[in-house]
Amino acid sequence: MIRNVLRTLGGNKKLYCCSVTRGTVTDTTNTEKKPLPPSFYKFNEVKRDKLANFGRYIAQCLPKFVQQVQFAAGDELEILIHPSGVIPVVTFLKGHHSAQFTNLNFITAVDVPTRKNRFEVVYQFISIRFNARIRVRTYTDEISPIESITPVFRGADWYEREVYDMYGVWFNNHPDLRRILTDYGFEGHPFRKDFPLSGYNEVRYDPELKRIVYEPTELAQEFRKFDLDTPWETFPKFKNESIASGYHVIDKEDKKKV
């Protein structure tokens, strides 16, 4: 309950307004701004070292599947694995007593057409017991399937259907792998880089047939010349400048204890 209270201070009879919210009184005459707490947790070097040691521990336990351990965005632990190790690694993360990543946060994918294996499938898990999160990344192409993790995490059902619908990644042993976001009979996968912005078919209501009809997309427009030059091309050093990577690779051979 919020109410305004008028009070009198000392002998000068100064009036001010304060608000009472659940037993907390805030003086509105004080215009000094208090610093707000950060939206994200602060960088913790101790926590980062513990995650690095845990990443090395996973690499030592599963050397057949773990190809690289790294940090993204400073202190976000990532495990890069071979596609054949999806089920063993996920089972390890969920069931091992030192991990207990029992909460599947999301599954998504990234399309990089210039790579031989153009699709990167990303899993993120949360350990409520240890207040930590980990990201697992693997790769595939247009025709090679990935094992579904629904036997380990039942909640992965819809996530994998979304990845299949948007990117066309096939998941083996999925209980019901069909489209979930696009319409029936949709052609193509919208999140692929080679998917046209206009799509392949146009959906509209036909007043004569009194129903929804699908027709090939027709974009009638005049010839246009696009200027693709960029002002950055005038700086020759900008072309040769290497882009700094946001990843820090962890040495898997470090024999630190977890």
pLDDT digits (tens, 9 = 90+) for 4-25: 444 444 444 444 444 434 444 4
Domains of the chain: 1-29 (no CATH), 45-181 (3.30.460.80)
Is a pLDDT exceeding 80 seen at residue 64?
Answer: yes
Which of 118-127, 207-216, 228-237 is the least confident region? 228-237
More confident residue, 84 or 198: 84
pLDDT for residue 19: 41
Which of 20-29, 145-154, 204-213, 243-252 is the least confident region? 20-29
Which of 76-85, 101-110, 205-214 is the least confident region? 205-214
Average pLDDT over the chain, rounded to an integer: 79
Q: Which of 90-99, 194-203, 238-247 has the highest mean pLDDT?
A: 90-99
User: Per-residue pLDDT averaged across 80-106, rounded?
Assistant: 95
pLDDT for residue 72: 86
pLDDT for residue 229: 59
What interhelical angle do 86-95 and 45-61 show, nearest 10?
130
For the chain, give the percent of residues with pLDDT over 70.
71
More confident residue, 36 or 71: 71
Beta strands (DSSP E) in the chain are 2-9, 14-21, 24-27, 66-72, 76-81, 103-111, 119-127, 132-140, 146-147, 171-172, 201-206, 211-216, 247-250
User: Per-residue pLDDT averaged across 106-110, rounded?
Assistant: 96
Whether the full predicted model's pTM is greater than 0.85, yes or no, is no
**Distance from C-alpha of 165 to C-alpha of 195, rounded to nearest angstrom:** 13
Q: End-to-end alpha-carbon separation of the chain, Å?
A: 49
Give strand pairing partners of 103. Answer: 126
Q: Please answer whether residues 170 and 119 qualify as being in contact, where contact means their C-beta atoms are separated by less than 8 angstroms.
A: no
205 DSSP assignment: E
